[in-house]
Amino acid sequence: MLILVANLGSTSFKYKLLDVSGDLHAADIRPDDRVLARGAVERIGDASESRCEVTIGDYHNVYEMPVPDHGIAVQSCLDQLTDAQHGCLKDASEVSAIGFKSVHGGRKSGTFLVDDDVLEAMAEMNAAAPAHNPPYIAAMKLLRERFPDLPLVAAFETEFHDSIPEARRVYATPPNWREEYQVQKWGFHGSSHRFIAERTAELLGRDDLRVISCHLGGSSSLTAIQNGKSVMTTMGMTPQTGLPQNNRVGDFDPFALPLLIERSGKSLEVLLGELASEGGLKGLSDRSGDLRDIEAAAAEGDAKSALALDVYVEEIRRHMGGMIVAMGGVDVIAFTGGIGENSDVVRRAICANLQSLGIVLDESRNEGHRTEGPLHVESSQTQIWVVPTNEEWIVAKRTKQAIGN
């Protein structure tokens, strides 16, 4: 059974084709063993030609072609997969469904076959996820028209956090805001955190773990996982909240906005755009939102970059402390994402001076570590791991369940 997993941006389309046949829970089956093909299309809708990339087995190709919309991008993907010389499919009908790593469905938090109600629910949350929902909605509508017999499945990132206790989900807002406008802490990166929950249980042979999943990358969040379920997370109503991120502000006092409007003369829309694109690590460092650039500049003595790194680490540690209290301790700290998997500097700073909490990093293991494996000393009460995430695998499994297979 083959599932095409789609990850969309406003002008991009990334995909993986996965085989989800048979037992999906066996610990000896790793997700990468099931990837038959992967690819990407960039600059969709650009007046010039779009960059397309495909990898099928040992075959890899990069080329350019006009891609006016996401429907053409998916058609190009299917053409690649069924290519007579290099493809892995005889016919596009071999694809059982397309699963979308959807972001925000508000009242539709779960995994659903795409229908008019799902599209309407996503549209209701456009203002909360303006960079994600509109392109997904547009692509889904196009694909429903062009491939009416191909099931489309929306796997919403909020679903994994439905298990968070109500006291950690609500804001102290006027009473009707939650019911009428869906104003609450939803949480995101659900596919990644769900994968970490499943993989740490496999690695340690236990399903009763208390895990802090640190998804650190261009977009970052922490989730406290207890007995395999999310019980606390850092992102709230939108993916803009929680930790400072690449170019997103993270947590921010909304009552600063009227002052900024008055003092700057800028509109609310302009200021929100600046917070969403010029804030975060980019704003703090005043040079780049890429942590690799920030680490390099900080090492050379750049004060703003050092501050950006310090703020990022301090916010992670602050939220981590709250999660340890919420769970009554922690058995595993799992680092994932581009930063979590590759930055020994950030991992070292996050775990510094936590011996009194039973968290002790092994400096020699941590240095240069880039693959799945432990980073703690043998005497550490809390295990520290790098666990590369695989969001597409989770979406593929959820898609399979949604279409009844």
Average pLDDT over residues 115-133: 95
pLDDT tens digits, 93-106: 899 999 999 999 99
pLDDT tens digits, 298-348: 999 999 999 999 999 999 999 999 999 999 999 999 999 999 999 999 999
| Displacement of CA 312 from its chain's centroid (Å) | 18
CA 302 to each of CA 295, 305, 311: distance values in angstroms, whole numbers, following the listed order: 10, 6, 15
CB 137 within 8 A of CB 122: yes
CB 95 within 8 A of CB 150: yes
Phi, psi for 333 (deg, rounded to 5): -110, 120
For β-strands 13-19 and 35-41, DSSP reports them as antiparallel
pLDDT (0 to 100) of residue 11: 79
Residue 24: pLDDT band (50, 70, 90) is: low
The DSSP element (H or E) to which 222 belongs, if any, is strand 221-226
Average pLDDT over residues 118-139: 93
Q: Say yes or no to pLDDT of 349 above 80.
A: yes
DSSP secondary structure code for residue 236 in this structure? -
Residue 271: pLDDT band (50, 70, 90) is: very high
Q: Say yes or no to pLDDT of 122 above 70.
A: yes
| Cβ-proximal residues to 258 (8 Å cutoff; 6+ apart), any chain | none
Give dist(CA 338, CA 51) in Å, integer. 23
Average pLDDT over the chain, rounded to an integer: 94
Where helices occur in 254-336 by DSSP H, the ranges are: 256-264, 268-277, 280-285, 291-299, 303-327
Helix, strand or coil for residue 168? helix
CB 157 within 8 A of CB 8: no
DSSP secondary structure code for residue 93 in this structure? G
Q: Say yes or no to pLDDT of 257 above 70.
A: yes
Sheet (strand 50-56) strand order: 59-65, 50-56, 35-41, 13-19, 2-8, 95-102, 152-156, 111-113
C-beta neighbour count of 61 within 10 angstroms: 13
CA 288 to each of CA 215, 246, 298, 339: distance values in angstroms, whole numbers, following the listed order: 20, 8, 12, 15
Average pLDDT over residues 72-86: 90
pLDDT (0 to 100) of residue 302: 98
> Which residue, among 326, 308, 127, 365, has the nearest Cα to 212 in the 3D structure?
326
Residue 200: pLDDT band (50, 70, 90) is: very high
Look-up of token digits 């058609």: 75
pLDDT (0 to 100) of residue 309: 98
Give dist(CA 45, CA 10) in Å, integer. 9
pLDDT tens digits, 285-299: 999 999 999 999 999
Q: Say yes or no to pLDDT of 216 above 50.
A: yes
pLDDT (0 to 100) of residue 26: 45
pLDDT tens digits, 362-393: 999 999 999 999 999 999 999 999 999 999 99
